[in-house]
Amino acid sequence: MRRHFRGTMLFLTIITRVVYWYMDHNNPAKLAKQEKELQKVKSCVKTVKFAEPEKKQILIHTATENNVELIKEKQKGEMNSEKLKTEYKCTGCTDEDSTRRRQWEKNEIDYMGLDSFDNIMAKLDQSMSK
C-alpha cells in the first residue's frame, strides 16, 4: 500500500508541474508582454544603421613626405612600447617578476623552475596562512 502511495504522489507531482509549466508558457498576459518586447527590438533593429568602414585613399607622396610619415609612425610605436613597459611596473615588483608575468601572458610558463607545482603550492600555503 505504501509503495502505491509513493507512486501516486510522484505521478501527481509530475502532473502538477506539467500543468503549471503549461499555464506559465501559455499565459496570454505574458505572451502579450513578450510580443511587445519583440516589437521594440524589431523597431530598434530597423533604426540602427551600421557604419561603413572608411575607405582609405591612396595618395602619392614624395620621398621626403614618406620619410616624415615613417618617422612619425616609429615615434608612435616607441611611445606605445614605453606605455606597455610602464603597465607592467607595479610597486614592489622586480624586473624578474615583470618578466615572469609577461612570459605567463605569452603562455611561456617555466614549469620546471619558479613556476613548478611545488613552488606554487608553497606560495599558496604561505599566503593562506597569513
Q: Per residue in 58-113, pLDDT tens? A: 555 556 666 777 777 877 777 666 555 555 456 666 777 778 888 888 888 887 88
Residues 22-71 have pLDDT tens digits of: 877 777 777 788 788 888 777 776 666 666 666 655 555 556 666 777 77
> Of 89, 83, 119, whose CA–CA distance to 102 is shortest?
89
pTM for the model: 0.26
34, three cell numbers: 513578450
SS3 content of the chain, % helix, strand, coil (to 5): 70, 0, 30
> Of 91, 89, 96, 128, whose CA–CA distance to 115 is shortest?
96
User: What region, left, alpha or beta, does residue 2 occupy, with left being phi > 0 and alpha being psi -120 to 50 degrees?
Assistant: alpha
